Amino acid sequence: MTSTKPSAPAEQTESTSSAALHIGTSDPLTLVMRNLRQSGIYIAFIVIVALFASLTHGVLLSPGNITNIVLQYSYILVLAIGMVILIIAGHIDLSVGSIVALTGAVSAVLVIQHDQPWWIGIVAAVAVGTAVGAWQGFWVAYVGMPAFIVTLAGMLLFRGLTLEVLDNVSLSPFPAQYQKVASGFLNGLMGGQGYDAFTLLIAAIAVAGYAVGVFRTRLARIRYEQPVESFPLFVARVLVVAAVVMYFAWQLAHARGLPIVLIVLGVLVAAYGLMTKNTVFGRQIYAIGGNLPAAMLSGVKVRKVNFWIFVNMGFLAGIAGVIYSSRSNGAQPAAGNMFELDAIAAAFIGGAAVAGGVGTVVGAMVGGLIMAVMSNGMQLMGVDQSTQSVVKGLVLLLAVAFDIYNKRRAGTTR
Amino acid sequence: MDDVLLEMRGITKRFPGVTALEDVSLVVRRGEIHAICGENGAGKSTLMKVLSGVYPAGAYDGEIRFDGRPVHFAGIRDSEAVGIVIIHQELALVPYLSVAENIFLGNERRGRGGLIDWNRTNADARGLLASVGLDENPVAPVIQLGVGKQQLVEIAKALSKDVRLLILDEPTAALNDVDSAHLLDLLRRLRDRGITCIMISHKLSEITAIADSTTVIRDGRTVETLDMASGDVTQERIIRGMVGRDLESFYPDRDSAPGAEVLRIEDWTVWHPVQPRKVVDGASLTVRAGEVVGIAGLMGAGRTELAMSVFGRSYGRNISGRLYLHGREVRARTVAEAIQHGIAYATEDRKRYGLNLIADVRANISAAGLGKLARAGWVNGNEEIKVAEQGRRDLNIKTRTVLDVVGTLSGGNQQKVVLSKWLFTDPDVLILDEPTRGIDVGAKFEIYTIINRLVAQGKAVVVISSELPELLGMCDRIYTLSAGRITGELPVGQATQESLMALMTMEKELAG
């Protein structure tokens, strides 16, 4: 046991900030083992990135390609945020692909057919998505139907409505402002030096924010006499994160700058990551998925929570609908087909448990990126579509198998 | 010696970081009922898993001889092949299959072409049911049977496999007294038919009543094997072996000084959620500060239903009646409201209704009072850990850290986590439903001590229990419940097991 026990409370003589520099465990093995499920995903991600980087002779990590991956998979990642929250609570949503199509269609009809300004389209799409989420939340939370059935029905229902709205034809193109959502960049704001300094500045601010945040967390943990990692290890962790982010930003800066959709995604991931971990609402989601009756008998308003996480899924599907329609520069009746499966796969690869109660937003993002890097890498290598599908299927299978194996091992230690 | 059926010698079983069994020996004679006693975590279940092949040969050290021959089981099928059948505490019946299908599950009666011979299946099932004293329709789904009858179906299933050594893990834990007596009677009859039986039980009264010998296990070692035939082995004697010391008094002393009335319900009536019948019928009771009030009743009397309906209407429908807290009538229509009014209810089934087993100790302790740790919806995670640590210290929860998963703790420690959760909501009334079910003697004593401490702080405590000695040992006053009606209220000084039992079994007409 390496965790420092809070044995003598309130007898700390030295100031917290000086203690922050030299206490804590530095046994990296313990730190990895403490959270094997999570760290397993990160390790897998690094291995997969390294593998495809070498298979593609570095093209995978080239500035242009990194930008491409972000643009290409952002809407799946947005969907995966909502999806992992539903999965944690023990639900699922099979209809998100149809909602993406429907919201994109509504936006296209307003903006392209009726010449409304671009932002009306965005607001309308998100509003429709949220309303759809409320519809499904009503059936799941207040009527008590299984989410599988409700959203299976929704998948058909909203696909049908999409066809209705579009009158069965594709609409295109969107005005330039609307297209910028998915394919616009913030660059050139600080003059060109061959790279975009603005992107680097934003990344640096993000890194600084992260460093301050984790240091304050560390101080608070020490004040509460919680175990922390040793200071050198802490610094090393921050430096690694900083290096990865800055490298990523450097690459982006040398391509086309900071994609707008990446800012959207970053804000969403940070907000939802904090919400699920640190708010009463977020914690109640885990409680419901972990043991529904126990959550009820602990005073959790289960119906309310279930309703709102479906509303939230609809809201995020609306955002994904905007991004996707913007990226494809139009609305098609078949848009968003199978998106739900990619989002579900991302959540499960990211460590969510099929039975509920387990999973993280960040994990789902890494899970989604694993899928993205694999798809992208295989495309670069010219692997045909059929093989890609087989590989992705196997990865999903193995990821969940690993998860189950892990759990069984944890279960037999007692 | 030929009359030895089973001999386990020097059994040692290690898990990473823990030695669960150390040099344990067990000798079971042919045709006896052999009880195994020990606190939770003492290693009883692990020993039975070694015996039944759940832990295959090679996964442990030591020797097992069955019927004079050394045996090496690679799995449960091997042990069943020689006639060792284990019935687990959690019954392994499929609820929507019929009784007959359950009995022959995995051992189907087949006819021509490998198809199931339903006539023979049902006829054989009827015979087996008769031999365990059950007169049930073999085609009825198992879920229609009560827990007591389901237990008997499990035994019938074991008999269908030509059992020679029957292992029962806490067979009466979920049974009421009548069903328990019935089951013990059946075990005696099986013994007369030559079936040897190993019984793990926490109910020492049953052990002294039925066992021919008793092996006591403590901390993964055999302490002693007591010969019960002489009749002079008392419960106290067994407890001494289990805890390694005499419990001076099994129930800790407490000064009884009830104060003002905290909770009162009047004319409380609850309907079954689906069936058209009253589960609680016109019940009225009061609980005062600094008082422990017991609710005694047989299973199905409506004890849990009464408690849960008071606790934010978490059970039943068409609930009517008045609820007063500190003399003021209040409405508690949801669990959240009940908690706000200062009511807490610790369930009888902590695994299903009390705990999030896959979450850590911390999250479980804070689950019902998370709002107290939050500002504008944001939880102070460090404060939460502090609260959890506080709970761990106060209730002596044995866990490595509060970040350990609750599912890995022993039953007694899980129960303390449940208590800790409710104490954090700072209730005025604490309703404890079977607070010591399935936990060991030492942990029971700790729970009793905690209850006394709460009462000393002026809290009102309601204890629902199937164990009458527990109620008599802990309570100031006891209500008896029969068929949903309160049939009596006795100060503990006037109550005896007999008088309580008489009220608990009172017929409905008389109770009215």
Angle between helices A147-166 and A118-137 (to 10 degrees): 150
Q: Which of residues 202-221 of A touch B (CB under 8 A)?
A: 220-221
Is A294 in Cβ contact with B352 (below 8 Å)? yes
Q: Is the pLDDT of residue B18 over 80?
A: no
Measure in Å the smallest separation between the Cα of A409 and chain B Cα atoms.
11
Give dist(CA B395, CA B419) in Å, integer: 8
Nearest CB among A278, A297, A301 relative to B353 is that of A297
Q: Which residue has the higher pLDDT, B191 or A27?
A: B191
- The residue written with tokens 């289990």 in the block is B242
Is A299 in Cβ contact with B382 (below 8 Å)? no
- A182-186, A403-407, B3-7, B324-328: which has the minimum mean pLDDT? A403-407
Residues of A in contact with B386 (CB under 8 A): 224
Judge if B4-243 and B246-342+428-512 fold alike in CATH terms: yes
Confidence at B290, pLDDT banded by 50, 70, 90 = very high
Q: Is the pLDDT of residue A185 over 50?
A: yes
Residues of B in contact with A293 (CB under 8 A): 352-353
What's the pLDDT score for residue B507?
A: 57
What's the pLDDT score for residue A12?
A: 40
What is chain A's mean pLDDT, rounded? 86
Q: What is the pLDDT of residues B305-338, one digit of tens each?
A: 999 999 999 898 889 999 999 999 999 999 999 9
Domain range B246-342+428-512, CATH architecture: 3-Layer(aba) Sandwich (3.40)
Confidence at B414, pLDDT banded by 50, 70, 90 = very high
Task: Give the H/E segment covering residue B474.
Answer: helix B468-474
Which of B356, B387, B432 is the best substitution to test chain A (most A C-beta atoms within 10 A)? Answer: B356
Q: B271 forms bridges with which residues in the sheet?
A: B278, B317
Contact in structure between B188 and B106 (CB atoms under 8 Å): no
Read off the amino acid at residue A97. G
- State whether residue A297 sits within 8 Å of chain B by CB: yes
What's the pLDDT score for residue A6?
A: 41
Measure in Å the smallest separation between the Cα of B345 and chain A Cα atoms.
8
Residues of A in contact with B357 (CB under 8 A): 290-291
Q: Is the pLDDT of residue B214 over 90?
A: yes
Is B370 in Cβ contact with A284 (below 8 Å)? yes
Give dist(CA B360, CA A336) in Å, integer: 38
Closest CA to B347 of B434, B233, B477, B444: B434
- State whether residue A405 sits within 8 Å of chain B by CB: no
Q: Is the pLDDT of residue B248 over 80?
A: no
Q: What is the pLDDT of residues B372-381, one digit of tens each?
A: 999 999 999 8
* Paired tokens of B474: 């802990």
Give dist(CA B369, CA B380) in Å, integer: 12
Q: Which residue has the higher pLDDT, B264 or A16?
A: B264
Confidence at B218, pLDDT banded by 50, 70, 90 = confident
Closest CA to B348 of B309, B307, B390, B376: B307
What's the pLDDT score for residue A74?
A: 93
Q: How many CB pairs under 8 A join A and B?
A: 101
- State whether residue A294 sits within 8 Å of chain B by CB: yes
> What is the layout of strands, in order, in the sheet containing B278-288?
B278-288, B261-271, B317-325, B328-330
Helix ranges restricted to H, A224-360: 231-254, 260-278, 280-290, 292-296, 302-328, 339-349
Give dist(CA A121, CA A108) in Å, integer: 7
Nearest CB among B17, B367, B386 relative to A287 is that of B367
**Stretch B242-247: mean pLDDT:** 61
Question: Which segment, A151-165, B147-161, B221-235, B493-507, is predicted with the most confidence on average?
Answer: A151-165
Nearest CB among B356, B378, B382 relative to A221 is that of B382
Q: What is the pLDDT of residues A83-134, one digit of tens each?
A: 999 999 999 999 999 999 999 999 999 999 999 999 999 999 999 999 999 9
Is B339 in Cβ contact with A290 (below 8 Å)? no
**Stretch A24-44: mean pLDDT:** 63
Task: Give the H/E segment covering residue A163.
Answer: helix A147-166
Half-sphere exposure of A345 (CA within 13 A, CB side): 20
Q: What is the pLDDT of residues B451-488, one digit of tens each?
A: 999 999 999 999 998 878 889 889 999 999 988 899 99
Residues of A in contact with B371 (CB under 8 A): 280
Is A299 in Cβ contact with B334 (below 8 Å)? yes
Q: What is the pLDDT of residues A209-261, one digit of tens each?
A: 999 988 988 888 888 877 777 888 888 889 998 998 999 888 888 888 888 89
Angle between helices A260-278 and A176-183 (to 10 degrees): 60
Is B385 in Cβ contact with A287 (below 8 Å)? no
Give dist(CA A320, CA A211) in Å, integer: 30
What's the pLDDT score for residue A409?
A: 59
- A36-40, A121-125, B13-17, B308-312: which has the minimum mean pLDDT? A36-40
Q: What is the pLDDT of residues A122-133, one digit of tens each?
A: 999 999 999 999
Contact in structure between B398 and A404 (CB atoms under 8 Å): no
Contact in structure between A158 and A132 (CB atoms under 8 Å): yes
CA A390 to chain centre: 24
Chain B positions touching chain A (beta carbons under 8 Å): 15-18, 311-312, 314, 334-336, 338-339, 345, 347, 352-359, 363, 366-368, 370-371, 374, 377-379, 381-383, 385-386, 389, 400-401, 405, 407-408, 421
Is B336 in Cβ contact with A301 (below 8 Å)? yes
What's the pLDDT score for residue B453?
A: 93
Closest CA to B451 of B471, B469, B481, B468: B471
Q: Structural domain boundaries of chain B?
A: 4-243, 246-342+428-512, 354-426
Please state whether the peptide bond connecting residue A146 to the residue before it is cis, i.e. omega within 30 degrees of 0: no
> What is the layout of strands, in order, in the sheet containing B69-70?
B18-29, B4-15, B61-66, B69-70
Which of A278, A297, A406 is the best substitution to test chain B (most B C-beta atoms within 10 A)? Answer: A297
Give dist(CA A131, CA A310) in Å, integer: 10
Confidence at B509, pLDDT banded by 50, 70, 90 = very low
Q: What is the pLDDT of residues A309-358, one digit of tens each?
A: 999 999 999 999 999 999 999 999 999 999 999 999 999 999 898 888 98
**Judging by beta carbons within 10 Å of its beta carbon (0-12, 13-18, 19+), is residue B326 exposed, middle or buried?**
middle
What is chain B's mean pLDDT, rounded? 88
Measure in Å the smallest separation between the Cα of A34 and chain B Cα atoms.
10
Contact in structure between A40 and A331 (CB atoms under 8 Å): no
Nearest CB among B311, B401, B405 relative to A3 is that of B401
Is the alpha carbon torsion for A309, A312, A313, A314 positive or negative? positive
Contact in structure between A242 and A207 (CB atoms under 8 Å): yes
Q: Is the pLDDT of residue A377 over 90?
A: yes
- A284-298, B81-95, B124-138, B274-288: which has the minimum mean pLDDT? B81-95
Contact in structure between B406 and B438 (CB atoms under 8 Å): no
- State whether residue A358 sits within 8 Å of chain B by CB: yes
Q: Is the pLDDT of residue B2 over 80?
A: no
Which DSSP letter does residue B301 get?
S
CATH dotted code for B4-243? 3.40.50.300
Confidence at B41, pLDDT banded by 50, 70, 90 = low
Is A414 in Cβ contact with B15 (below 8 Å)? yes
What's the pLDDT score for residue A370?
A: 93
Q: Which residue of B has its CA nearest to A355?
A: B358
Measure in Å the smallest separation between the Cα of B437 and chain A Cα atoms.
18
Residues of B in contact with A283 (CB under 8 A): 363, 366, 370, 379
